[in-house]
Amino acid sequence: MAYPKTVGVLALQGDSRNHLALLADLGVTGVPVRTPEELGKVDALVVPGGESTAISLLLSTGGLLGPLRARLDEGLPAFGTCAGMILLAREITDGRPDQHHLDAIDVVVRRNAFGRQVDSFEADLEVTGVGGDPVHAVFIRAPVVESAGAGVDVLATIAGADGVDRPVVCRQGPVLVASFHPELTGDPRLHQLFLERAAG
Ligand code: GLN
């Protein structure tokens, strides 16, 4: 199955460089997206980790918020990691009141869900649709999904401090989100999962 021709990586703030490197490893043309013109040229978009409040502010001041919402409404495939997952959600809890979200996947996401004491940690996850060894996941001030709509597939979960399993990888149509940073480990399998569906 062919991958999308041109995959954008939102590059307003946060970790766009490692995503671009992973896309290049997969033989895909990855381009940084900072303007509506650049957004207009992509067939799919990665929304990276970073700080969702900062990315939200830069989306609105740079004039990308409206065009991005419109592309997502039309079915633009999108892959949000960490802050990107927060931005793509239907609802954010523990966000800033003025923080925008893109309503591209029917999940309610809690920011910084693992608490201040646990700033970052790593875990091996079984992810539905990803064959082979478990995915080694790096969580950095990570969000979790508090609730997912009926149309959302939960592909991986992790137990929080309270012992309750919550989703950390979800998919709805062409939109994939992950709480962690798959671009940091050099493992391309989450990106492949995204690109296969984005092409179909
Ligand atoms: N906690 C950050 C936020 O709210 C996300 C952290 C990350 O992307 N690593 O945006």
Quick one: which of 102, 113, 117 has its CA closest to 167? 113
- CATH number (3.40.50.880, 2.40.50.100, 3.40.50.720, 3.40.950.10) of 6-198 reads 3.40.50.880
Candidate list 19, 100, 170, 183, residue with the active-site label: 183
- Single pTM value for the model: 0.96
Q: List the domain boundaries for the chain.
A: 6-198
Q: Read off the pLDDT of residues 81-125 as tens digits, 9 standing for 90 and up.
A: 999 999 999 999 998 999 999 999 999 999 988 876 567 899 999
Q: What is the pLDDT of residue 117?
A: 55
To test the ligand 1 pocket, which listed residue (9, 12, 112) has its Cβ within 8 A of the most ligand atoms? 112
Beta-bridged to residue 47, according to DSSP, are 80
Q: What is the pLDDT of residue 114?
A: 82
Q: What is the pLDDT of residue 197?
A: 92
Q: Read off the pLDDT of residues 128-187 as tens digits, 9 standing for 90 and up.
A: 999 999 999 999 999 999 999 999 999 999 987 788 999 999 999 999 999 999 999 999
